[in-house]
Amino acid sequence: MTVAQTDPGLSHLRARLIRLAYRMLGSVAEAEDVVQNAYLRWLATDRSKVREPAALLHTVVTRLCLNELKSARRRRELYTGPWLPEPLPDPDEPETRDDITFALMIALERLSPLERAAFLLHDVFGWDFDAVARTINREPATCRKLASRARTHIQAARPRFPVSREQGQEIAAAFFAASRFGDMERLRALLAEGVTAHADGGGKVPASLHPLAGIDAVLERHAQLAAEFARAPSKLVRYAFFDGLPGFVTIEAGEIVQLTALEIDGDKISAIYVMRNPDKLRHLGLGSPGNRAGRRQA
């Protein structure tokens, strides 16, 4: 039983709480578990003494996330290959979106848990520092410093020249066509010189164990993949936006579901993120032909 079932007036909070927990943890499954735990604690609370239920639930979720981050970081140290956050589809309603992209989610991983919490609560969710301080049990001045350090660390992850969603989707479609049909000249024109490529298979399906850096390395890999795409074409499932980035979902080698998201700066692709780990795609409800390990490696 959830808080929504016992208190319908709070049902609208669930999506917001999950988004907060997801931004803290980078995992939808872990975020849902944290929010469910927070609901259970709410149900055990004497609610007649709670003046602001929403504030209490946000506080409980944040503190549970801070505890969870300790064990989550240990698990990621043992992870096979690059670890990427689970891709989260953008909400349909523009007013409920935030400006945290896939690249920023990765940058958040480099912050301390308290820096991450202070930055998210203040800069993303709009809390004042007094509220942040009450939530993470620190002084407001300390919270200001935590958020300031976080901004400094993640500044480089923000695109200098953001693009519109329409242009982003056009570039994603052009990238899909060029990469799948082996048009290396067109692909080179789409990529920034310092482009990077990251693939997360989690040890469950084939994926590159190390990120690729630079346009030559990325083009060389896609030239290799082009021959494989010719033998076993990708099946395009749909185009979509994930964590603010344009991309697409495909079925590769007849059985592996893959999500590709593109970081775009100006009119060039600055980073390519490929999610192949089936555990991190399950929440998207994409359906799967099996996700058994195939020969093709992203």
SS (H, E, C) 88-134: CECCCCHHHCCCCCHHHHHHHCCCCHHHHHHHHHHHHCCCCHHHHHH
Quick: pLDDT tens for 173-206. 999 999 999 999 999 999 999 999 999 999 999 8
The pLDDT-based confidence of 254 (bands split at 50, 70, 90) is low
CA 94 to chain centre: 17
Q: Per-residue pLDDT for 127 more than 90? A: yes
Residue 8: pLDDT over 90: no
* 53-65 pLDDT tens trace: 888 899 999 999 9
Note the pLDDT of residue 89.
86
Cα–Cα distances in Å, from 43 out to 23, 49, 67, 271?
24, 13, 21, 44
Most confident among 48-62, 87-101, 239-253 (mean pLDDT): 239-253
Measure the CA–CA gap between 221 and 151, rounded to whole angstroms: 34
CB atoms within 10 A of CB 103: 24
Cα distance between residue 197 and residue 272, in whole Å:
5
| Residue 1 pLDDT greater than 90, yes or no | no
Give CA–CA dist 177/187, Å, rounded: 9
- In this prediction the pTM is 0.85
pLDDT at 294 over 70: no
- To which H or E segment does residue 249 belong? strand 245-252
* Weakest mean pLDDT among 9-18, 159-168, 288-297: 288-297
More confident residue, 284 or 185: 185
pLDDT value at residue 259 = 96
Q: What mean pLDDT, rounded, does the chain reach?
A: 87
Q: Which of 36-53 are b and which e, b meaning 16 or more Cβ less than 10 Å from the residue's Cβ? A: bebbeebeeeeeeeeeeb
Give residue 153's pLDDT band: very low, low, confident or very high (50, 70, 90). Answer: confident
Closest CA to 241 of 161, 174, 172: 172
Q: Is the pLDDT of residue 169 over 70?
A: yes
Cross-strand partners of 251: 235, 257
Tell me which amino acid residue 198 is: H
Q: Tell me the C-alpha distance between 244 and 97, whole Å.
A: 8
3, 39 Cβ separation under 8 angstroms: yes
Residue 277: per-residue pLDDT: 95
Maximum CA extent, the chain: 67
Give residue-wise pLDDT tens across range 28-86.
Answer: 889 999 999 998 988 887 777 778 888 889 999 999 999 998 877 778 778 888 899 99
